[in-house]
Structure 1
Amino acid sequence: MIFSKRISLCALLLAIAIAAGDHGFAQGGVGSSTAPASDGLPAWAFLWDPTVQVPPPTDTPNALPGSNATFSWKQARDLFAALDWHPDDHPAMPDIVANGRKPEVRACGACHRVEGTGGPENASLAGLPVAYFVQQIADFKSGARMMSGPQRLGTQVMLASVKSMTDADIRAAAEYFTALKRKPLIKVVETDTIPKTGPSRMFYVKSPDGGSEPLGQRIVEMPDNVNQFELRDSRATFTAYAPVGSLAKGEALAKTGGSGLTAACSLCHGPDLKGVDNVPAIAGRSPTYIIRQLYEFQHGSRSGAASAPMKQTVEKLSQDDMIALAAYVSSLEP
């Protein structure tokens, strides 16, 4: 791994939809009056550094704890084959998830992992309602679901893949991921100082040089074992560092709406935020991903059926409010 040296009633529907299959490679109080329009793009949530040099992949087999399988880095870079480290942990994969279809449709399980766990650079698909999954793919195809920030390679790969998926492909993938149980993989830690970061192309990692840096007003989510995550193991875990006070502020916003600032998440997502009918679960999801979705709704990058009520829900939120909400929701048991 080479690191860079630079560095409404339908309340909080956080758009936990199918995000870009991004190919990573290591890289105030409740009711804040901050005007959201003054909040620029949170670059830390849309991380992309194409200048990071990725070492050439090798054919040498790699092993990971808890698995009898071995895979090479060359296999990990092949997005037409999903690496299955724990085949007993999930049902049989449909071909669209395991292999995709050349030349455009990458294997869903390659970027989003075979158990749909995803990562900070894309989304978790496990447990998404079938109808919701299908609608998000339709929105990607129609242009109703857009993506802000730099034009990451993974975003382009994702859009090319979904545009070439057939109805049968979409249904097979949706039914497979819906049947999977979500895993508690993210630990949220409040702090002022974090391990020094060395961004990869798509997500933060710890610098090999050690040291620390100030967190500031952002969330920094890192894999605990970079190689495990880069080798696409669905059991990879993450630590998300959030500003001190985020959890209490986020809990108040999520449960009460902050005296009219927004609306209680439970109105749509259920009392435990684990989803209701075709509304997806938000508890335990990547805070980096949640931030991106809140930003997208607030800034008009969504025009699908759920966008109007969601835009109203987030229009008064500052980025500090979004950080607090994302930290709290992500800290919950999925």
Structure 2
Amino acid sequence: MRMALAAMAVMGMAASGVSIAQSQPPAPPSAAPTSFPAWAYPWAPDFKAAPDDGVPRHVPDSTASFTITQERNLFFVPDWHPNDHPPMPDVVAHGRMPDVRACGSCHRAEGTGGPENASLAGLPAAYIIQQIADYKSGARKFAGPQRSPSVVMTAIAKASNDEEIKAAAAYFSSLKPKSNITVVQTDIVPVTQLARVFYTLVKDGGTEPIGQRIVEVPEDAAQFEHRDTRSQFIAYVPKGSIERGEKLVTTGGAGVTTPCAICHGPDLKGVATIPGIAGRSPSYLVRQLYDFQQHARAGSAGALMAPVVEKLTHDDMISLAAYVSSRKP
């Protein structure tokens, strides 16, 4: 099966930039219960981004302009729509050199994130603070390859102080999650390509069978590369995934798992310090399910999730993520 690679590497894009990809690595192996779902952990460390040509970039419905160098700066946040959110605290907008990158450089000014990392908007502040603590202690690790988003996030967490963590958590928890993913069930998908850690469509690249994977891409790769918080995504999932996922989410699938509403609420939008999961990136969700299953996320959340994910196959994870992502955040 042909699979190429694509768009920006946000948390790692910033580290070396992003441009539409040029090369096609070998297709990842088919997922199996004993191996990690490679399609959910895209990683091309040797990807070379095109150099900055110095021309200011623009996005729809914004009067702002930024160069590629500015957009790739991990201590700067391209704020295309400043009226869409309250003032960013300094740690979100600029970070602190040399190790605390600006939170918004990867997670965006409005916490929308992308498939390569987490959406933070609307997460409980206490939950965000706990996750940073887990990164610091090593309780939260990653079951797949050590992609740049994971490495950078761990380094930032370890270098951040309590004041910075509380300021960032308070800011992101105050934001309203955006509905920015359209889930499409299909047997055939456009061919994709990758720029370091993120897939995008190959222009005139044709189509291929979806197989047992989720193909998540930005509707406008350039807009997302520019870190526009209004970017929209399409997540292609195998036919029947949403229906199968609904059964797992709502009933537990005859003992396969635990109904998600018990902890995450009837609308999957979270309860108290438990995070909302509705409308999240399905690629991100699958990574988290697998990380929990492999005990890579071993903090307090890991203890709660371990029995929930223990029996899940990769197909179950795809179905769960497809349904959850199709819900309104």
Asked if TM exceeds 0.5, the reply is yes
**C-alpha displacement at 1:52, in angstroms?**
2.2
Matched, 1:116 2:111: yes
Aligned residue number for residue 310 of structure 1: 305
Answer yes or no: is the 8 Å Cα contact 1:223–1:236 preserved in 2.
Answer: yes
Deviations 1:185-206 (A, max 9, x none): 0000000111111122111111
Aligned residue number for residue 68 of structure 2: 73
Aligned residue number for residue 181 of structure 1: 176
Q: Normalised by the size of structure 1, how large is the TM-score?
A: 0.90
Q: Distance in 2 between matches of 1:39 and 1:322?
A: 14
**C-alpha displacement at 1:98, in angstroms?**
0.2
**Can you give the 5+ residue segments of structure 2 that lack an aligned partner in the other structure?**
22-30
Matched, 1:21 2:16: no
Deviations 1:109-144 (A, max 9, x none): 010000000000001000010110000000000000
Aligned partner (choices 160, 165, 181) of residue 165 of structure 1: 160
Deviations 1:245-300 (A, max 9, x none): 00000001100001111111110111101111001100000000000000001111
* Structure 2 counterpart SS, 1:23: helix
Answer yes or no: is the 8 Å Cα contact 1:58–1:74 preserved in 2.
Answer: no
Report matched runs for 1:23-42 at 5 Å.
Answer: 23=13, 25=18, 26=20, 38-42=33-37
Aligned residue number for residue 271 of structure 2: 276
Identity %: 55
* Structure 2 counterpart SS, 1:187: strand
Range moving further from structure 2, 172-181 or 206-215? 206-215
**C-alpha displacement at 1:64, in angstroms?**
1.0
Q: Distance in 2 between matches of 1:63 and 1:21?
A: 21
Answer yes or no: is the 8 Å Cα contact 1:198–1:208 preserved in 2.
Answer: no
Report matched runs for 1:178-217 at 5 Å.
Answer: 178-217=173-212
**C-alpha displacement at 1:308, in angstroms?**
2.0
**C-alpha displacement at 1:6, in angstroms?**
4.7
How many corresponding residue pairs? Answer: 311
Aligned residue number for residue 11 of structure 1: none
Q: Distance in 1 between matches of 2:264 and 2:12?
A: 27
* Structure 2 counterpart SS, 1:306: helix
Answer yes or no: is the 8 Å Cα contact 2:241–2:319 preserved in 1.
Answer: yes
* Structure 2 counterpart SS, 1:70: coil
* Structure 2 counterpart SS, 1:198: strand
Answer yes or no: is the 8 Å Cα contact 2:4–2:192 preserved in 1.
Answer: no
Range moving further from structure 2, 304-313 or 121-130? 304-313
* Structure 2 counterpart SS, 1:205: strand
**Can you give the 5+ residue segments of structure 1 that lack an aligned partner in the other structure?**
8-19, 28-35
* Structure 1 counterpart SS, 2:245: helix
* Structure 2 counterpart SS, 1:325: helix
Q: Normalised by the size of structure 2, how large is the TM-score?
A: 0.91
Q: Which has the higher contact order (CA 8 A, sep 6+)?
A: 1
